[in-house]
Structure formats: structure tokens, C-alpha cells
Structure 1
């Protein structure tokens, strides 16, 4: 089977190294089925719009360190900037509770449903 994609992914995480590590593990875990390119990470809310304008990502993930309100705002900015973008907020505290493995599993469980929505 030929992998689907490529999908351009941007992340919003206050710790860019963690975003790169966790997303890298996620991408590696689904590489037989999907081609995903991690284009860029924004570490601050005010960086979301310019990052989306530069990259025009297909998908954006908001990390688990953001509050519900911040995650909603991140996703709103992304959707206003890039029509049709798919966004997902990792539940607040998931990284702290279950570590990177928990986040990777969360992403793997939801990826297909997220990107295959019309």
C-alpha cells in the first residue's frame, strides 16, 4: 500500500524540542500508512498566525500544556488563517500524566479520523 500524503503538520508547543521529539515518534509510527512532514512549531500564541501564513499546513496540533481556552484560540487562529486546516488539541495534562508514549498513542488513535473528515 502506498502511504497517503504528504501532510504538512505544524505544532504549537512551548517546548519546541519536546514537540519535535513527540511528533517525530508519531510520524515514525505511522510512516507505512501516512507521509507527514513536521514543518514548524510555534512556542507562543502570537506566533500561530505567522507560522500558518508561512507554511499553509494541512494539520495543526496544540500541545497538552495549553489551557482549554488557549487551545480553542490556537485552533481558531489556524482555521481563520488556513481555510480547511484540520486541528486537534491534545488534552490538557496528557503529557504530564502519561508522558510522550501517551501523547503518541493519542495521536495515532485519532489521526485517520481527523484527516479523513471531509
Structure 2
């Protein structure tokens, strides 16, 4: 019996993480774990705040996640830049991991945290 198709439209995700390989690996786990509920395409990773504007303008993402290496102030700045680039009404959904989560609790905690909060973010 084939697996159930994911509900809803695909979501284009841009991550902001100074470790692009880790971002791809962790988001890959989230995409796989939640594929029966959501279709998420990891379109790009941005490794530096200075690159956010160009990548968001190019990719026009539905979702933007900031990694746990950013301070709350840096995460707010990244989100503000991203929202400022997109047209009014675009509806970008953003999610910032708590600072230090990866270092303190490891990659499994990051995946769990995203999966726990994603349904309410996309509702």
C-alpha cells in the first residue's frame, strides 16, 4: 500500500546556519519524519547575516529557520531582513531555535524542537 501523500502545498524553506552541512542533515531528518504531514523543500542555507537579503530575494521562501548559534538579537535581525525583502502579504513563517540548543543538548534535541513546534507554525 503506498504511503499517504503529504497534505497541503509544498513549503520552501531557507535556513540560516553557519554550518550548512549540519543544517541540511538536521532539516533532512525533519523532512523525512514529517513527510506524511508536510512537504518541505530545503531550498537554501544562508551562512552569514549579510547574505540573507540576497538569498531570500532569490528563493522567496515560505519558511525561514534561524539556527541556535544566533543570539536572540541576531535572530530578530535575520527575520527582519527576510520579511523586509519579501512583498507585503507574502506570509513568511519564521522559527528561531533557542540559542545554544545544539551545543547544550545536541542534534536530536534540535530535530525534536522543530518537530514539536512545526505544526503550530504551519497551522
TM-score range, shorter chain: over 0.9
Question: How far apart in 1 are the matches of 2:52 and 2:24?
Answer: 16
Q: Work out which of the residue numbers 84, 88, 94 in structure 1 matches 2:91.
A: 84
- CA deviations over 1:10-54 (Å, ceiling 9, x no partner): 000001111111111111110111100000000000100101001
Counterpart residue number, 2:116: 109
Structure 2, unaligned runs of 5 or more? none
SS at match of 1:9: strand
Q: TM-score normalised to the size of structure 2?
A: 0.90
SS in 2 for 1:11: strand
**1:55-82 CA distance string (max 9 Å, x none):** 0000000000001110000111111112
Task: Kindly tell me the number of residue pairs found equivalent between the two proteins.
Answer: 116
Superposed, 1:37-48 pairs within 5 Å as 37-48=41-52
Give the Å deviation of 1:5: 2.5
